[in-house]
Amino acid sequence: MSKHVIWLIVGGGLLGVSQQIALVVLPLLADVMQVPYEVLVNWQAGGSFLFLFSSLLWAKRVEKKGCTRVIKLACTGFILSNLLLLFLWVGHTTLSTELMLAVFIVSRVIHGLFSSGIVPQLQVSALHLFPNNSIGALAKVSLGGTLARCLTPIVCIGLLLFSPLWVFVLPLILGVFVLLATPTLPKFDSQEPNVLKTNQHWGVLFVALLCSFSLCYGQFSLVQVLSKIMADNSLAVSKWVAANLALTAVLSTFLQLYFIKKQKIDSENLLVFSLSGALFMALMSSVVNHIFAVCVFVALIFVALNSATLAYTNIIVSKAGKQFTNYISTVHTVGYAFGALCVNFSLNVPYGLVSIALLIAFSVTFYRFFAHVYPSRASSL
């Protein structure tokens, strides 16, 4: 495995590692800071919403400075934000609660402003380093996120057996590695030639919004569905949710490895097939009542949506320019926010709403394919 591939995988996993570690360190920090756990969670979420604005700023920055400088700057901010958390853990005996809370807030603000610049620029770098297999290039970055979600909890359990200190150190080590391993890449041309009409990417961005909404809402709704099937048994619900996440991670990993290995993948066809598969699985999840079937169908929804994400990212980048990876990140944040908000409505058939969202996404994609993509291909024969 080349050093560039390792760099892309580790870099793609930075945010996943940070998010998973937050589940471990926030209870620890709440205890030593003597503040309610919910307060830290709210500030953690508030920092994440800064992605809405910072992603757009990085899009402008990368056009002027190039990917290399932006990745190094974003990694520096990522390292600093986690260094402040380490400072809180090491120095909590000598700091006041007010000062520790202020440092935590600053840490989350820095994290929200800088971390949003890592993954989009890694995607651009991957497309530059591996131009012959664009889907495989994007899959390398996506694989890092999948492995981070899968392996970080296991690694944290092992580190906690030695000392909680190492849990705070882990993201620092990974961040420094990505910073030092970042290669020098030429600036890309923001005025790249478009294969199809320029305005087509807006429809695909709308599809990205619906997919991110379905992914977030579908994940949170799984708990509601299982709770209805297994009333008053929260432990069993947690076990089935964990099993669903594990199945999703394993299947996604194999799929991404397939994309990396395969040299030619048609993004347009992949998007159509992925959305049709996700829609079918969502419809099945709406009608089945067996616990095992629900978990399997929901896991397949997430796997199909991960595949769709690779497809529409590649389509948007090829049609509108590489700087649009940052706008995709912003659209994802908006979709996740709407998904989290809709969970509060507690619908009787939550995957019915997922099915509606995916039906709209599939309809837009299907119309776009036969109105623009297919005629263009036919005329070139």
Find where tokens 């530059």 sit. 128
Q: 200-379: same fold as 3-181?
A: yes
pLDDT at 192 over 60: no
Domain 3-181 has CATH 1.25.40.10: no
Express each pLDDT in 97-126 by its tens digit.
889 999 999 999 999 888 888 888 888 888
For residues 50-67, give the mean pLDDT.
78
Domain 200-379 has CATH 2.60.40.740: no
SS3 (DSSP) at 283: helix
- pLDDT at position 106, please? 94
Per the CB < 8 A criterion, the answer to whether 311 and 267 are in contact is yes
Express each pLDDT in 143-179 by its tens digit.
888 788 778 877 887 888 888 889 899 999 999 999 9
Question: Considering Cα of 137, then 142, then 145, then 150, what sign does the dihedral take?
Answer: negative
* Phi, psi (rounded to 5 degrees) for 183: -80, 165
- pLDDT at position 197, please? 47
Which spans in 66-164 are helix H?
67-91, 97-114, 118-129, 134-162
- pLDDT at position 105, please? 93
- pLDDT at position 283, please? 94
Average pLDDT value for the chain: 82
CA pair distance 108, 113, nearest whole angstrom: 9
Would you list the domain boundaries of the chain?
3-181, 200-379
- pLDDT at position 323, please? 66
CA pair distance 211, 195, nearest whole angstrom: 24
183's tokens: 């290669």
Question: Measuring CA to CA, which residue among 72, 325, 320, 56 is closest to residue 190?
Answer: 320
196's tokens: 């199809």
Chain-centre distance of CA 14, in angstroms?
A: 11
Express each pLDDT in 320-369 by its tens digit.
666 677 778 788 878 887 887 787 776 677 888 999 999 999 999 888 87
Query: Could you give the C-alpha distances from 219 to 7, 196, 273, 300, in angstroms and in order?
Result: 29, 34, 21, 12
Express each pLDDT in 246-280 by its tens digit.
788 888 888 888 887 776 778 888 899 999 999 99
